[in-house]
Structure 1
Amino acid sequence: MKRWWRRGILVFLLLGIALLGWWLFAPGRVQQVPAAQREAEAAKLRDPALIARGEYLAAVGDCAACHTERGGQRYAGGRVLATPFGDVPAPNITPDPETGIGQWSFEDFWRALHEGKGRGGELLYPVFSYTSFTKVTRDDALAIFAWLKSLPPVHQPDREPGLAFPYSVRSSLLAWRALYFKPGVYRPDPARSPEWNRGAYLVQGLGHCNECHTTRNAWGGLEPDRHLAGGTIPVQDWYAPDLGTQPGGGLAGWSGQDIVDLLKTGQSARGVAFGPMADVVRNSTQHMSDADRQAVAVYLQALPARAAAPAPAAFAQVASHAQGGELYARQCAACHGKQGEGVPGVYPPLDGNSSVTGPTATNAVRSVLLGGFAPATAGNPRPYSMPPFAQQLSDDEVAAVVNYIRQSWSNRASAVWPAEVGRLRHTPVD
Structure 2
Amino acid sequence: MARHQLRSTLRACIRGGVALSVAALLANAARAQDAPAATGIEHGRYLAIAGDCVACHTAPGGKPFAGGLDLKTPFGVITASNITSDKETGIGSWTFQQFDAAVRHGKGPSGNLYPAMPYTAYVKMTDADMADLWAYIRTVPPVSQKVVENKLPFPYNIRAALVVWNALFFDRTPFTPDSTRSAAVNRGAYLVEALEHCGICHTPKNALGHDSSATYQGTSLQGWHAPDLTNNDHTGLGTWSAEDIVTYLRSGTNRHTASSGPMTEVIVNSTQHLTDADLHAIAAYFKALPARTVDVPPPLPATNAQMVAGRREFLVQCSACHTSSGQGVANMIPTLQGNPAINAKSPDSLLNILLAGTTGPATAANPTGAGMPGFAWKLHDDQIANVLTYIRNSQGNAAPAVSAADVAKARKALGAQQVVWH
Q: TM-score scaled by structure 1?
A: 0.85
Work out whether residues 59 and 69 of structure 2, in 8 Å CA contact, stay in contact via their aligned partners in 1.
yes
2: CA distance between counterparts of 1:248 and 1:168? 41
Q: How does 1:108-187 map to 2 (within 5 A)?
A: 108-120=98-110, 122-187=111-176
Q: How does 1:4-403 map to 2 (within 5 A)?
A: 49-120=39-110, 122-223=111-212, 225-233=213-221, 236-247=222-233, 250-309=236-295, 312=297, 315-316=300-301, 318-403=304-389
CA drift at 1:314: 7.7
CA separation of 1:127 and 1:368: change in aligned 2, threshold 3 A: same
Amino acid at match of 2:214: R
1: CA distance between counterparts of 2:187 and 2:266? 19
1:127-150 deviations in whole A, cap 9, x for unaligned? 101111111111111111111110
2: CA distance between counterparts of 1:370 and 1:156? 32
1:43-94 deviations in whole A, cap 9, x for unaligned? xxxxx94111111110110000000000001000000001000000000000
Determine the structure 2 residue equivalent to 1:21: none
Determine the structure 1 residue equivalent to 2:7: none
1:270-313 deviations in whole A, cap 9, x for unaligned? 1111111011011110111111010000000111122442x746
2: CA distance between counterparts of 1:244 and 1:148? 34
Q: Which runs of 5+ in 2 are unaligned?
A: 1-37, 416-422
CA drift at 1:366: 1.2
2: CA distance between counterparts of 1:98 and 1:404? 56
1:224-255 deviations in whole A, cap 9, x for unaligned? x211111112xx32111110134565122111
SS in 1 for 2:108: coil
2: CA distance between counterparts of 1:249 and 1:295? 22
1: CA distance between counterparts of 2:389 and 2:298? 17
SS in 1 for 2:413: coil
2: CA distance between counterparts of 1:418 and 1:151? 49
- In percent, how many aligned pairs have the same letter? 43
Count of residue pairs the alignment pairs up? 377
1: CA distance between counterparts of 2:210 and 2:395? 38
Amino acid at match of 2:258: V
2: CA distance between counterparts of 1:319 and 1:231? 29
SS in 1 for 2:71: strand
Amino acid at match of 1:99: T
1:185-236 deviations in whole A, cap 9, x for unaligned? 211111111100000001000101010000001111110x211111112xx3
Determine the structure 1 residue equivalent to 2:34: none
SS in 2 for 1:427: helix
Work out whether residues 235 and 340 of structure 2, in 8 Å CA contact, stay in contact via their aligned partners in 1.
no
CA drift at 1:315: 4.3
2: CA distance between counterparts of 1:248 and 1:415? 16
Work out whether residues 55 and 147 of structure 1, in 8 Å CA contact, stay in contact via their aligned partners in 2.
yes
SS in 2 for 1:87: strand
SS in 2 for 1:81: strand
1:83-136 deviations in whole A, cap 9, x for unaligned? 00000000000010001011111111111111110135x100001011111111
Amino acid at match of 2:139: S
2: CA distance between counterparts of 1:86 and 1:368? 28
CA drift at 1:427: 2.0
Amino acid at match of 1:101: I
Work out whether residues 104 and 119 of structure 1, in 8 Å CA contact, stay in contact via their aligned partners in 2.
no
CA separation of 1:90 and 1:300: change in aligned 2, threshold 3 A: same
Amino acid at match of 1:288: L
Amino acid at match of 2:216: L
Aligned-residue Cα RMSD (Å) equals 1.6
Q: Which runs of 5+ in 1 are unaligned?
A: 1-47
2: CA distance between counterparts of 1:302 and 1:133? 22
Work out whether residues 336 and 395 of structure 2, in 8 Å CA contact, stay in contact via their aligned partners in 1.
no
Q: TM-score scaled by structure 2?
A: 0.86
Amino acid at match of 1:68: T
Determine the structure 2 residue equivalent to 1:33: none
Larger Rg: 1
Amino acid at match of 1:375: P
Work out whether residues 300 and 393 of structure 2, in 8 Å CA contact, stay in contact via their aligned partners in 1.
no
